[in-house]
Every structure is written in structure tokens, then in C-alpha cells.
Chain A
Amino acid sequence: MSPNRPKRPSPPRPPRRRTEVDDILGPEDASLLDIVDNLLNKGVVLNGDLTLGLARVELIYARLSLLLSAADRVLPGENTEFMERHHARHVLRKARRRTRP
């Protein structure tokens, strides 16, 4: 995604200082639990892998892309509440009766 620009001549590199990455990660011993917990145990899960086999022979590789979402979020237009749907239909019927000649 980088635009096509002619490179500016770069100045001579200074000796390596503490970078922002070093500051962000902080003391070694303290941060590893957080990193492991956050990266391996949390975060958005988009897919998973599974191999299936018989008698120690691997036969099938399955890539599972998880599309799990609550129905009431996937279908925002649909009202899942029974009483409300019933009421909505009732209102619609009434409106139709009114417009009939």
C-alpha cells in the first residue's frame, strides 16, 4: 500500500538506542504471563484447525472458520420477541382493513 514516491536520501544511522518496542514491553520477567495470556488465550478467534484420522493415519485436514454469532445480532431486522411480532402483525392487519374501500 505504499505510494510510489522517490526515496529521500537517508542520514547516517546513529548507534542503536533503546527503541519504543523495548519501552513498551518493559521488564522481561514481568510481562511474559500477560503476553502469553493475551495472545494465546484471548483475542478475536477467526478460525481453527482439525485433523481427523483413523488408526494413527491422518486422513482429513479441516479448516474451521468460526462464524458464531447470536441470531438476534445477525438478523437485526427480524424481531425475535414473539409478542412483539404478534402485535406488529395485528397492527398491520388493522392498517390494511382501514385502507380497503
Chain B
Amino acid sequence: MILCVYALVGSPRPVRKVTGIAGERLRGIPFDGVVAIVGEVRRPPAASTRNLRQYAASIESIASQVPAILPVRFGTTFDDMTELTSVLRARAAATRQRLRAVRRRTQMTIRLVGSDPDDGRLGGQIPVTSRTGVRPRNRATQGTRYLEQRLAVLRRAREVPELAPIRPAIRRFVKEERVERRGGVITVHHLIPRAMAERYRAAVERAAEQSRLRLAVSGPFAPYAFADNW
């Protein structure tokens, strides 16, 4: 039997009546102020539609019982407690910080059709290039210029000018934002207070209609996109 990790929470209170993908009872194991919600399974779960839906349901069930949750990537398994313990202990401080950031908050997602990032070849959240190709003439500031250029690329990637028309309507809800451009789709995740989900959705839809912006909004979800620092 191996351990499948579903989520990390901060609450030491036991999580009640949540079952995992194999129908197993989930339990919480504490490590340094962080509690890992795990289930025992026979083998690493396959990414079938059924398993994915079940996992998502387990996560939302846990989320409804705790103020802060960090969902773990699907299919994360450990052979034994020793390995799990050392990994979680090493990350305890960073995990606690992330739990504070997502406390009483939830994720909403907006998708629009748009261009891929300007350096073309990549997918995913982090812009990858390095071939800046510019070597400034002043040698004394080459390194600084290089970093500033990289920062500019990152900033451009974080921006979503396509969403500008609706930003004023939702600014007050948004605590954190994550942007991803991939496959011709722009995905924007917003971390908002849990109680504001319906208000957020109404504000997005109203503002989108007013500016004739076609988009899809979904949520609320547990904060998957805000779970890792990277």
C-alpha cells in the first residue's frame, strides 16, 4: 500500500467523512503545523476521467471543512511515511506561508481566446526565453540590463490587456492573480474571498457584456493555482 497525498491543510481538526479515489477513508497526518490529507491506495492513480472527477470532489469536500487548503497535484504518491515526512518537513515554513495566503479564499477562473506569449515557442506559466540577443555597449551595466530585460518579459507575460475592460469591476475582489497563455487560450485565475464568489461572477459577466468581451468564467474552486510559490 502506498500513500496518496490529496491536500495540505493547516487545521489540526480531523477531516470527516471524506473518501478518496479508491473509496478509501482519508485521514490527516500532522507535520510541523501542516496537516497532510492522505489516503492509502494500492497503486498510483491513473488519470482517468472518473479518477479525476473523484479527486476533485474529494478536494472540494475537504475544502468545505477547513479555512485554508492547498490541493496537491493529482497522482502524488509516496512509498512510505519516511519520504513523505522529510519532504513535508523541509517545506513546512513555505507551506504555512501559502496556507496563510489562501485562508478563507477561493479560486475563480476566467478564460478568453487570445494570442500565445510573444516569444512563441512555449506553453505554461513562466516565460522561458533566454535568447535576449541584446548586448548593451556599456559593459559595466551588462548584467543589470540583462536582469531588467528578463523582468520586463515577465511583467509583459503577467499582463492581460485583453481583460482591461473588466478590471475596474473586479479589482476589489482580486487578492492574487495567475495568468497562463497556452494553446491560444488565456487563462486567468483570481484568488478572491470565499463569500464573494457569486458577486465576482455577476460583476465579471455584467462587465463582459457591457464591453462585448467574450469569456468563460468558472468556479469557485479550491485554490489549485495558488498552491505553489513557483
Selected interface stretch from B65-73, B146-154, B199-207: B65-73
Q: Does A42 contact B (CB under 8 A)?
A: yes
Q: Is B118 an interface residue (CB 8 A)?
A: no
Which residues of chain B are within 8 angstroms of A39 by Cβ–Cβ distance? Answer: 47, 52, 55-56, 71, 73-74, 224
Pick from A24, A33, A69: contact of B60, CB below 8 A.
A24
Contact of B227 with A74 in the complex, beta carbons under 8 Å:
no
B76 touches which one: A24, A47, A67, A74 (CB < 8 A)?
A47
If A43-B71, A45-B73 touch, does A31 touch B5 (CB 8 Å cutoff)?
no
Q: Is the interface of B mostly helix, strand, loop or mixed?
A: mixed
How many chain A residues touch the partner (CB < 8 A)? Answer: 33
List of A residues within 8 angstroms of B27 by Cβ: 1
Given contacts A43-B228, A65-B83, A73-B94, contact A21 B57 (CB under 8 A): yes
When A25-B56, A34-B109 are in contact, do A46 and B76 touch as well, CB less than 8 Å? yes
Closest to B55 in A: A39
Per-residue CB proximity of A45-88 to B under 8 Å, as 1/0?
11100000000000000010111111001101000000000000
Is B87 in the interface zone, CB < 8 Å from A? yes
List A residues 29-43 near B (Cβ within 8 Å).
Answer: 30-40, 42-43
Whether A25 pairs with B97 at a CB distance below 8 angstroms is no
Tell me the minimal C-beta distance from A36 to chain B in angstroms: 7
Contacting residues, chain B, for A46 (C-beta < 8 A)? 5, 72-73, 76, 78, 87-88, 91
Within 8 A of B (CB), among A1-41: 1-2, 20-21, 24-25, 30-40
Q: Complex Cα distance A32/B48, Å?
A: 11
In the complex, which residues of chain A have a beta carbon less than 8 angstroms from the beta carbon of B72? Answer: 43-44, 46
Q: Does B173 contact A (CB under 8 A)?
A: no
CA distance A36 to B51 in the complex (A): 11
Q: In the complex the two chains form, what is the Cα distance from A66 to B49 in whole Å? A: 27
Interface size in chain B (residues, C-beta < 8 A): 45
Q: A37-B187, A42-B224 are in contact. Are A25 and B90 (CB under 8 A)?
A: no
Task: Closest B residue to A70 by CB, please name it.
Answer: B229
Contact partners of A76 in chain B: CB under 8 A = 93
Question: Which chain B residue lies CB-closest to A69?
Answer: B94
Residues in B neighbouring A2, C-beta threshold 8 A = 25
Q: A74 to chain B: which residues have CB within 8 Å? A: 93-94
**Which residue on B lies nearest to A24, using beta carbons?**
B60
Take A38-B224, A39-B56 as given contacts and tell me if A31 and B218 are in contact as well, using a CB distance cutoff of 8 Å.
yes
Q: Which residue of A lies closest to B185 (CB)?
A: A33
Closest B residue to A68 by beta carbon equals B230
10 nearest interchain CB pairs? A39-B74, A42-B224, A38-B224, A43-B73, A43-B71, A21-B57, A65-B87, A44-B227, A1-B27, A44-B72
Can you list 22 A-B pairs, Cβ within 8 angstroms, ordered by A?
A: A1-B27, A2-B25, A20-B61, A24-B61, A34-B109, A35-B53, A36-B52, A39-B55, A39-B56, A39-B71, A39-B73, A40-B74, A42-B228, A43-B224, A45-B228, A46-B5, A65-B86, A67-B87, A69-B90, A69-B91, A74-B94, A76-B93
